Structure 1
Amino acid sequence: MSLKDKELKELFELADNIGNKRYHRLTHQDFETYRKFDYWRYINGDYECGTTQDSKDWVRENSNWYCPICGYHYSDKGGKTIDHKLPRSQYPWLSMEFNNLWVICQVCNKEKGEMHWYKYEHYIFVHYPDLYLAVKMARPSQLLQSLKDSTK
């Protein structure tokens, strides 16, 4: 059965099962990957120092002027942020997986917080049904496929 034939909840149950197995077997490299994000995103890994040129360039190349969730101009919503679709607190080895990153406004990022994507998509569907299609289109399908493939 392909991923396209599965319901959303089943996909994320699969991702959680894989994530839980992997999370309990984190390697030294997984922690380095997790830390690498901080060094890629923040000068000297320090939030106070500002973002690196490399991460600024990535944001410029992977976003436009508007948040893909709410549709507002970033400057109207406190600026833009790099967010992990699958939270790095649950999937630290995906910290530098660029398919797991997207640029959203600060307000939407705070609202999403550390929610797992499935819970976030459900939350949007219930609370902001007019925004659901935008969130659904951003679903980390390739990431789910790669998690599924890693079990073979």
Structure 2
Amino acid sequence: MLKSDEDSDDEVYFANMPDFGDHVDNAIFSQILEMDESDHERDFSEPLVINFFEQAQDTFEKMDQALASRDLNELSTLGHFLKGSSATLGFNKIRDSCQVVQQYGHKLTVDGVSEPDENVCLKKIAEALQAAKVDTAELEKQMKKFFGAE
């Protein structure tokens, strides 16, 4: 059976997709890319990804405010929200950092063990939030280059 030109284009495109390392689950991200009608006009995936980074920035600002006011419940809610968005796109490192924020916001370790010391929770959240910001900035640069939007 002969492959269509479109199949060949897909193979070339995915073969040329950069290695995002452990930042991105390529299987999930490839599924997002497959929703585009054209590999050359990323009308579905590009706005989705760009909007994610805008959403992440807004969420980080809210997290900073919640951290300053020591609002663990709000931090957990925001962590859960951004974890879901990043997981949907396959953005692993951001997802993992947001999981830490969510868990410690509930006064739980990442293993689900109770952590009653609020100061420990806030410290772990601050560390995870900083990691999420760094990973988001790095991934945003890679994605803008990938989509030719730099």
Which structure shows the higher helix fraction? 2
TM-score normalised by L of structure 2: 0.24
TM-score normalised by L of structure 1: 0.24
Which structure shows the higher strand fraction? 1
Task: Point out which structure has higher relative CO (alpha carbons under 8 A, 6+ apart).
Answer: 1
Bigger Cα Rg: 2
